[in-house]
Amino acid sequence: MSSMSTTQQPIARRHRRTALVAGLAASALVLAACGGNTGEEEGGGSSSAGEDTISVFGAFATPLEEPWDGAIHAALTAVAEDGAITYEHVDDLATADEMERSLRDIIATENPDVIVGDAFAAEDAVREVAKEFPDTAFVFGSGGKEQAPNFSVFDNWLQDPAYLAGMMAGGLTKTGTIGVVGAMPIPEVNRIVNAFTAGAQETNPAARVTVSFINSFFDPATAKQAAEAAIAGGADVLFAERDGVIAAAEENQLPVFGMMVDQKDQAPEYVVSSLVWNMRPTIEAVVAAVEDGSYEAQNLAEYSFLKNGGSSLAPINTETAFEIPADLITMVEERQAEIEDGSFTTPVNEEEPAGSTTVGG
């Protein structure tokens, strides 16, 4: 495996002010640029990662700390630890030109079998590069369609656990109002919020769901304030599509549902459950196809569905400060079983939810 480290140039010590200024300015620039640092995983786990092992490169538009790309990175890391792939990655490719340059660089220097990433902010650029390198499998998070012969798309299709969490929320609310705080009304957020609302409608036809958008993927202080506003508006159960809401739920001692990973540890007495995205089935499907030579461009959406293990409702918290009715849990479990065996399909609705939705009214 090639090393990505670079040799550091020793800087001669000089006693002139200009040198110090230049150094400080340069370090600021270097550190800023380091956002897009190339990381290397202990891919393959062992030194036996031979030429037969599929090599995967992650190219992410956001820092890995962002939960969306974090979920993809976690799945790739897990698959690499099992020895099925070798995995390297680069993150924080915030602009389309950074993403494009990085993709060309990755292909020129590493030439991996598969590149996984998110294309939302750089859709045209990524597709253009994919067209030029038809022998590399491009597997990208995208709101668009697949592009033959090599560009596959996936997305966080969490409507199944969202629906189940909504059922729980509908059963838990006493005021009849549930507060949802989301990023912004884009399809991937809308379908989760709408499925959550539909679930609440099933267990509580009179429930009112208020939906706040903070117009940012990362502003937890504002998300918390939006949750406080929902509480002031009567909400007594919250859904944290964004970070920050759980803190509001804990302070006000209200049930809350988390997102992307099991967030129970953030408020062990108040997080009822979380919508969990598991990218492993998607990755494994791609790796298997590349391995036997059958890979072609496809929409990988269904690998994120609950029935395929791509998403789940985290284990329901049994140590909450409030009681969760046993029959409510039973209802949710029954519905989950129906989703798993295919007898129930969660409706997918990507329209923008109204700010204050009266469900079933």
Partner 1 sequence: MDFPILAVLAATLTIATPLVFGGLGALLGERTGVLNLGIEGTLYAGAFVGFLVASRTDSLAIATLAAVVAGALAGALMALLTVTLGVNQHVAGIGTTLLLVAACDFTNRLLFGGGERTVTVKFDRLFSGGGILAQYPMTFVAFLLLAPAVWWVLRSTGAGLRLTAVGENPEAADTAGISVARTRWTALVVGGALMALGGSFLTLSVLGTFTLDIVSGRGWICIALVIFGRWKVWPVVLGALLFGFFDALQLQLAITSAFGSVPNELLIALPYLVVIAALAIRGRGVRYPGSYLTPYRRA
Q: CB-wise, 200 or 300, nearer to partner 1?
A: 200
Q: Give the dihedral sign, CA 251/273/344/307.
A: positive
Residue from 95, 109, 111, 215 touching partner 1 (CB under 8 A): that is 215
Count the site residues for partner 1 by CB under 8 A.
54
55 touches 82 (CB < 8 A): no
Residue from 4, 11, 19, 28 touching partner 1 (CB under 8 A): that is 28
Closest of 340, 352, 333, 351 to residue 168, by C-alpha: 333
Cα(10)–Cα(115) distance, rounded to whole angstroms? 35
Strands 85-90 and 237-240: unpaired
* Interface region with partner 1, contact rule CB under 8 A, candidates 22-30, 147-155, 270-278, 334-342: 22-30
- Shortest distance, position 194 Cβ to partner 1, whole Å: 15
Residue from 11, 14, 23, 27 touching partner 1 (CB under 8 A): that is 27
* Interface region with partner 1, contact rule CB under 8 A, candidates 62-70, 118-126, 147-155, 327-335: 62-70
Report, in angstroms and rounded to the nearest whole number, the Rg of the chain calculated over CA atoms. Answer: 23
- Shortest distance, position 178 Cβ to partner 1, whole Å: 11
Query: Omega of the bond prior to 149 within 30 degrees of 0, cis?
Result: yes
Using alpha carbons, list the distances in angstroms from residue 323 to 27, 172, 183, 238, 318: 54, 9, 30, 16, 9
- Shortest distance, position 5 Cβ to partner 1, whole Å: 16
- Shortest distance, position 68 Cβ to partner 1, whole Å: 12
Residue from 4, 11, 19, 20 touching partner 1 (CB under 8 A): that is 20
Residue from 78, 218, 299, 360 touching partner 1 (CB under 8 A): that is 218
How many helices (H) and strands (E) in the chain?
10, 13
Residue 125 binds partner 1 (CB under 8 A): no
Residue 360 binds partner 1 (CB under 8 A): no
Q: CB-wise, 13 or 145, nearer to partner 1?
A: 13
Using alpha carbons, list the distances in angstroms from residue 287 to 147, 290, 296: 18, 5, 12
233: Cβ contacts below 8 Å, ≥ 6 apart:
177, 179, 210
Residue from 117, 200, 243, 256 touching partner 1 (CB under 8 A): that is 243
Provide the strand spans (E) within the chain. 38-40, 54-59, 85-90, 114-118, 137-141, 151-154, 177-182, 208-213, 237-240, 256-260, 271-277, 311-313, 356-358
Residue 355 binds partner 1 (CB under 8 A): yes
Residue 226 binds partner 1 (CB under 8 A): yes
* Interface region with partner 1, contact rule CB under 8 A, candidates 100-108, 241-249, 289-297, 340-348: 241-249
- Shortest distance, position 222 Cβ to partner 1, whole Å: 7
* Interface region with partner 1, contact rule CB under 8 A, candidates 17-25, 141-149, 199-207, 285-293: 17-25
- Shortest distance, position 265 Cβ to partner 1, whole Å: 5
Residue 36 binds partner 1 (CB under 8 A): no
Using alpha carbons, list the distances in angstroms from residue 219 to 222, 247, 267, 276: 6, 13, 19, 21
Using alpha carbons, list the distances in angstroms from residue 134 to 123, 129, 147: 17, 9, 11
**Residue 24: both structure tokens together:** 């400080």
- Shortest distance, position 69 Cβ to partner 1, whole Å: 11
Q: CB-wise, 263 or 320, nearer to partner 1?
A: 263
163 touches 193 (CB < 8 A): no
Angle, CA 158 vertex, CA 153 and CA 161 arms, to 5°: 155
Q: CB-wise, 86 or 274, nearer to partner 1?
A: 274
Report the interface residues with partner 1, using CB under 8 A.
17, 20-21, 24-25, 27-29, 31-32, 34-35, 63-66, 74, 179, 185, 210-216, 218-222, 224-226, 228-234, 243-244, 247, 251, 261, 263, 265-267, 354-356, 358
